[in-house]
Amino acid sequence: MTSFPKLPRLKVDDENMEKIHCGARKGQTEEVKRLVELGIDPAIPNRFGCTALHLACKFGQVETATYLASICDVHGAWHGQRPLHLAVLANKEELVEALVAGAKERGRNAEMMLNECDDFAVEDIGEHHKPTEGQTALHWCVALGEEYLPMLKLLIKLGASPTAKNKESVTSVMYAIEFGNDAAMEAMLSGVKPQQLRLDYQDKEGRTHLHYAILYNRQDYAMRFIEMGHDPQIEDDNHVTPLFLALRATMPELLTYLLQNVDPFSVQQAPFHNGSVMLPERIEWLSFATDEQARAECVRLFQKRLDEVSFRPEEIEKKRSKPNVKKMKLAPSAPIRSRSIGNATAVRSRSIGGRSNGK
């Protein structure tokens, strides 16, 4: 591996950096101001990319961070995390508001900043095992639970989108479904206008929010997404539609709606029948779909709709017995023949033969 030469660092720069970083970490706002007035760059980083603003955010020093956010534009990541993510994890609402206000003053797009992913790879988030290469501040709040609910509401108010994706293309709404965070889900869906949500977003496997709701046994969320305008016919990368999942999950209410509102071709191409009769042994029921009565009801609903969209035998026989053939109409100027071509040929032959006998 090529070894690139390191840029020379002056000893005085390191000393100044240490001073302003130490002041920011301890929340010594007046000391930080004094150092800035002496000409020290407030955004000077150490060799890991850490600045005074990063440290003030990490240690929850609201006053110091508010001052630094108003005079410098720090956008880089320190160990994968940007100032906003550090402020959110510190659970300091005033600090987040100060960062957003500072970004707006400097002409930065605050919405873009709020929906930006960090570069902090993790295997677990809070009590959940969820490997990810990076996520938004809103993802962190959903995963960390009830303690971060006020912060989540603030982020939404400031412009964070519940359907912004992390680096695995999973949204915060999908997180809420997967982690069972009902309070976060309600805050996100009620805090944003339906037209601002991108419910058609798909993860890396092509699954939408409707797929997630069914897979995690939340028929209530599935119906709510449909009411909000979710397309019920989007299939994932394995060509699995919400219709197929609703049957496998034994969700009668959702299944009834989908059977009547999706393209009939989707019913006909389902892998659970032979074209006219349902075959329950082909259905791979989801792990929570154990109620035999609910299974039978869903099979009955699907069979009923299959009968409606398929041709019935009596209709086929009726069509065969009465072919709809139209008679050809001749133009008024066409000659009318009284005999067929074969009869006309025979008559002509007899007339020629009679003439020969006469001679």
pLDDT at 52: 92
pLDDT at 13: 56
Contact criterion met (CB below 8 Å) for 155 and 191 = no
State yes or no: pLDDT of 18 exceeds 90: no
Partnered with residue 124 across adjacent β-strands are 129
What residues contact residue 232 under an 8 Å CB cut-off, 6+ apart? 210, 226, 242, 243, 257, 258, 261, 262
Counting residues of the chain whose pLDDT is more than 70, the rounded percentage is 82
Class of 109-198 in CATH: mainly alpha
Residue that the structure tokens 């065969």 belong to? 320
The verdict on pTM exceeding 0.85 is: no
Class of 10-106 in CATH: mainly alpha
Mean predicted confidence (pLDDT) in 1-14 = 46
128-132 and 122-125: which strand pairing? antiparallel
Asked if the domains 10-106 and 201-311 are classified in one and the same CATH topology, the answer is: yes
Least confident segment among 21-30, 44-53, 210-219, 289-298: 44-53
What residues contact residue 245 under an 8 Å CB cut-off, 6+ apart? 211, 214, 215, 286
Mean predicted confidence (pLDDT) in 299-313 = 87
pLDDT at 107: 83
Partnered with residue 204 across adjacent β-strands are none
Q: Hey, is 254 helix, strand or coil?
A: helix
Which one, of 213, 210, 171, 170, lies nearest residue 188 by Cα? 171
Q: How confident is the model at residue 74 (pLDDT cuts 50, 70, 90)?
A: confident
Q: Which two tokens stand for residue 226?
A: 């449909």
The architecture in CATH of the region 201-311 reads Alpha Horseshoe (1.25)
CA dist 230 and 213 (Å) reads: 12
CA dist 71 and 82 (Å) reads: 17
pLDDT digits (tens, 9 = 90+) for 194-236: 888 999 999 999 999 999 999 999 999 999 999 999 999 999 9
Least confident segment among 46-55, 134-143, 221-230: 46-55
Which one, of 84, 83, 16, 97, lies nearest residue 55 by Cα? 83
CA dist 270 and 181 (Å) reads: 33
Mean predicted confidence (pLDDT) in 136-165 = 97
Boundaries of every domain in the chain: 10-106, 109-198, 201-311
pLDDT digits (tens, 9 = 90+) for 263-303: 999 999 999 999 999 999 999 999 999 999 999 999 999 99
Q: Which two tokens stand for residue 203?
A: 């993860």
Average pLDDT, the chain: 86
pLDDT at 88: 95
